[in-house]
A = this chain, B = another copy of it.
Amino acid sequence: MASADSGKKPQEKEQNVPSTTTEEDFSKDNYGIMPLIQSKEKIDRELVSVRDINEKLAKQTIWVRGRIHTSRGKGKQCFLVIRHQSATIQAIICVNENVSKPMVKFVTTISKESVVDIEGEVTLTPSPIESCTQKDVELQVKKVFVVSSAEPRLPLLIEDAMRPDDPVIDGIQAPHANQETRLDNRVIDLRTPANQAIYRVEAGVCKLFRDTLDAKGFVEIHTPKIISAASEGGANVFQVSYFKSNAYLAQSPQFYKQMAIAADFGKVYTIGAVFRAEDSNTHRHLTEFVGLDLEMAFNYHYHEVVDTIGDLFTQIFKGLAERFTTEIAIINKQFPCEPFEYVEPALRLEYKDGLALLAEAGVQMGSEDDLTTENERILGRIVKTKYHTDFYILDKYPLAVRPFYTMPDPNNPKYSNSYDMFIRGEEILSGAQRIHDAQLLLQRVEHHKVDTKQIKSYIDAFRYGCPPHAGGGIGLERVLMLYLGLGNVRKTSMFPRDPKRVTP
């Protein structure tokens, strides 16, 4: 790489750079716009990550790459805050025997969000810098090169994106970015410390999901998203033009997970996109989201599976609390929320008992009716007060409100071997023992008036022997939204899709 180091004139290419003065600029080799990094040559230079700069590096001269987070010129000096991911450090440049006036002036003109390489000496700060994550050290700048310039007018200011949804400073509504502006400018929005943390926690949920299930002997599988027929009765499915015919986008990997069980994989999971063509514009609906799905053959009772899933959530909650303390604190700073509570083993209530709790609280509903979103929330609050848990399992739903493949309860035909799981009163998993017998399945298909031709290969999967099994599907974005109390599923989908948004 022909960097400005190697004798080239600085300040080439950039528009908003002050013209050099007629005097010889003794610092001219120490600053400027770096030519585009095009991998021209290999440079043997270590870049220290902002988060790793601490007292141990005091008095050392290091190279750092980061963005100009803020910049404040003050006569012969300029205070910068350099940001890399969630970490920030103060950098100071002052006119002195090595730093010319034009150099300081150049630095003040670098636009916010530009990526820069800085060489500087690490010094201890006289008092902690509260506005930075690296409070006890700062950089005395010796060289500055712009790696990638940001256009001077940002469509979204990071400091606005970093404020809470409804920020009040000194009793006055502070400027902040609304959800649409954030999403329209997602690449900038995602740079906030909270967003940097949210997607690391999200990756953590997936990792904990997989690690927990791997340890229990599950096999990861991949299921097709393009399917020949609407899997669950035809509603809410996206249609795809498939060569000279049509196909659909899978609303869930469930049929395929079950086929994997019929194919002897025993315990399977899959993480992947699922699609819902629902015209629901709410805080918790997306048209495309990430499903964490599992399916498991059991010996004699589907509670073997319910217990496995309950324990899975316990492991996820434990793992998040252990491994992501810093990230969760960063998120809570921008989006405050009540601490998350859970009990171990997970609380399991029967549907009818849930209805009894609601009735006690004055909420009446039919014993075979489905819970409304509002009643789910009320029940969540009751459960939280009574059992001190934000996570619980509601078991034995009425058969009438569940899909055709749900195993009826053998002890009471009104109910079924099915369950939902909730975080902070909102559903994050739906599951059941599935019917593994082709004859019974056909009866239920007929009862539900589902077209058997559409699901022939699914029904056939149970004709050649299949162990009893149960499973469930978890909505990743919902888990994270509710666990972190973020209030909108668009905050936990990196590039969310809803009926009105397919960009960026």
A residues near B, CB below 8 A? 1, 3, 36-43, 45, 47, 65, 67, 84-85, 113-115, 147-151, 154, 186-191, 195-196, 199-200, 202-203, 206-207, 210, 214, 219-228, 238-243, 247, 249, 256, 259-260, 262-266, 271-273, 275, 277, 279, 287-288, 290, 299-303, 407-411, 417, 433, 436-437, 440, 457-458, 460-461, 463-468, 476, 493-497, 499, 502-504
A114, A223, A504 — most chain B CB neighbours (10 Å): A504
Q: Which residues of B contact A210 (CB under 8 A)?
A: 207, 210
The answer to whether residues A407 and B299 also contact, given A115-B467, A240-B249, A436-B148 and a CB cut-off of 8 A, is no
Cβ contacts A to B, 20 pairs, < 8 Å: A39-B301, A115-B465, A148-B437, A148-B465, A151-B464, A186-B259, A187-B262, A187-B263, A188-B263, A188-B464, A190-B263, A191-B263, A200-B219, A207-B214, A210-B210, A228-B502, A238-B242, A256-B494, A259-B504, A457-B503
Query: Does the CB pair B275–A42 fall under 8 Å?
Result: no
Q: How far is the CA of A276 from the CA of B465 in the complex (A)?
A: 35
Query: Does the CB pair B463–A150 fall under 8 Å?
Result: yes
Query: Does the CB pair B243–A494 fall under 8 Å?
Result: no
Query: Does the CB pair B225–A37 fall under 8 Å?
Result: no
Query: Does the CB pair A196–B67 fall under 8 Å?
Result: no
Closest to A499 in B: B243
Q: How far is the CA of A149 from the CA of B467 in the complex (A)?
A: 10
Q: Which residues of B contact A300 (CB under 8 A)?
A: 1, 3, 37, 39, 41-43, 45
B3, B39, B189, B410: which contacts A303 (Cβ < 8 A)? B39
Query: Does the CB pair B187–A464 fall under 8 Å?
Result: yes
Q: Which residues of B contact A47 (CB under 8 A)?
A: 299
For this chain, the copies found in one complex come to 2
Q: How far is the CA of A215 from the CA of B115 in the complex (A)?
A: 26
Q: Which residues of B contact A190 (CB under 8 A)?
A: 260, 263-265
Q: Which residues of B contact A113 (CB under 8 A)?
A: 464-465
Query: Does the CB pair B191–A85 fall under 8 Å?
Result: no
Closest to A299 in B: B47
Q: Which residues of B contact A228 (CB under 8 A)?
A: 502-503
Query: Does the CB pair B220–A207 fall under 8 Å?
Result: yes
Q: Which residues of B contact A288 (CB under 8 A)?
A: 224-226
Q: Which residues of B contact A272 (CB under 8 A)?
A: 272-273
Query: Does the CB pair B495–A224 fall under 8 Å?
Result: yes
B149, B199, B240, B457: which contacts A240 (Cβ < 8 A)? B240
Q: Which residues of B contact A1 (CB under 8 A)?
A: 300-301
Give 3 nearest A-B pairs by CB, closest first: A457-B504, A190-B263, A203-B220
Known: A45-B300, A238-B240. 14 other contacts (CB 8 A): A37-B468, A67-B264, A115-B466, A186-B259, A207-B210, A223-B494, A226-B497, A226-B502, A239-B240, A240-B241, A243-B277, A243-B499, A247-B502, A272-B272
Query: Does the CB pair B504–A42 fall under 8 Å?
Result: no
A21 → chain B, closest Cβ, in Å? 27
Query: Does the CB pair A264–B196 fall under 8 Å?
Result: yes
Q: How far is the CA of A47 from the CA of B227 in the complex (A)?
A: 36
Query: Does the CB pair A151–B463 fall under 8 Å?
Result: yes
Q: Which residues of B contact A240 (CB under 8 A)?
A: 238-241, 249
Query: Does the CB pair A39–B264 fall under 8 Å?
Result: no
Q: Which residues of B contact A37 (CB under 8 A)?
A: 300, 436, 468
B220, B266, B271, B279: which contacts A243 (Cβ < 8 A)? B279
Q: How far is the CA of A333 from the CA of B207 in the complex (A)?
A: 34
A477 → chain B, closest Cβ, in Å? 9
The answer to whether residues A225 and B273 also contact, given A84-B264, A465-B67 and a CB cut-off of 8 A, is yes
